[in-house]
Chain A
Amino acid sequence: KQEVTQIPAALSVPEGENLVLNCSFTDSAIYNLQWFRQDPGKGLTSLLLIQSSQREQTSGRLNASLDKSSGRSTLYIAASQPGDSATYLCAAIKETSGSRLTFGEGTQLTVNP
């Protein structure tokens, strides 16, 4: 059974700091790894999708990496801003499970001005 763990559960940083969010998964036979952002009471916004043949993806100040052998993905946020405050969720997808996403419980990020 695929399990996804995110560390830390919560993180508070001053504005401008670079930070790393961690995601680990138990089953290395994943196909894709997707990172999402969720604002309180809202739906999920897709940030980055890393396919199994890729090692990283970048979008603006965000960079996500995937290491299937170690069962880890990281989301790097550069020069954090108060608007980055949200919960960040990672989700793993196995090739044999269609589009079924297995989520971690998220990291709640607060960026203080």
Chain B
Amino acid sequence: DAGVTQSPTHLIKTRGQHVTLRCSPISGHKSVSWYQQVLGQGPQFIFQYYEKEERGRGNFPDRFSARQFPNYSSELNVNALLLGDSALYLCASSLARSNTEAFFGQGTRLTVV
């Protein structure tokens, strides 16, 4: 079975642009969460989606948004990119909304120049 897949793997954007990152969870998993990991730090929670509804939001500005599709895949959108948005963006897949193991994809490395 395929694990969590994320695309693209690397991305370079200019300040002020917007970006869309994509995630496909493990087959059968209904929960997708997004994390931002700045170099040298632990991942920070951005969003959780379960059954296509937002179930949690971290301390990120409104420039960050996400959605989950009927097939449980998800997109993370970031508008008006800043240099500080440069990071590894990680997607996590879980079977249920809570109390289950989280599995991560390989991440998307976003560089804003």
Residues of A contacting B50 with CB < 8 Å?
Answer: 98-99
Q: Chain A interface residue count: which class?
A: 20 to 34
B72 within 8 A of A: no
| Contact residues of B between 30 and 76, Cβ < 8 Å to A | 31, 33, 35, 40-45, 48, 50, 55-56, 58
Q: Which residue of A lies closest to B43 (CB)?
A: A103
* B104:A36 contact, CB within 8 angstroms: yes
Stretch with Cβ within 8 A of B (4 or more), from A37-45, A66-74, A78-86: A37-45
| Contact residues of B between 55 and 113, Cβ < 8 Å to A | 55-56, 58, 88, 90, 92, 94, 97-107, 109
Give bound CA distance, A103 to B48, whole Å: 15
A49 within 8 A of B: yes
Give bound CA distance, A105 to B38, whole Å: 10
Cross-chain contact of B43 among A41, A49, A98, A101 (Cβ < 8 A): A101
On whether A43 and B104 interact (CB within 8 A), knowing A105-B41, A106-B42, the answer reads yes
Q: Which residue of A lies closest to B96 (CB)?
A: A99
* B41:A101 contact, CB within 8 angstroms: no
* B98:A103 contact, CB within 8 angstroms: no
B60: shortest Cβ distance to chain A, in Å? 13
* B42:A103 contact, CB within 8 angstroms: yes
Q: Which residue of B lies closest to A105 (CB)?
A: B42
Residues of A contacting B56 with CB < 8 Å?
Answer: 97-100
Q: Which residue of B lies closest to A32 (CB)?
A: B99
Give bound CA distance, A46 to B101, whole Å: 8
Give bound CA distance, A42 to B94, whole Å: 19
Q: Which B residues lie at the A interface, using CB under 8 A?
A: 4, 6, 31, 33, 35, 40-45, 48, 50, 55-56, 58, 88, 90, 92, 94, 97-107, 109
Between-chain CB contacts (< 8 Å), 10 pairs: A41-B88, A42-B106, A44-B90, A89-B42, A95-B98, A99-B92, A99-B102, A100-B48, A101-B35, A101-B92
In addition to A43-B107, A95-B99, A101-B43, 17 A-B residue pairs with Cβ atoms within 8 Å of each other are: A31-B98, A34-B102, A36-B104, A41-B109, A42-B106, A43-B105, A89-B43, A93-B98, A97-B98, A98-B48, A98-B50, A98-B98, A99-B56, A99-B92, A99-B94, A102-B45, A103-B42
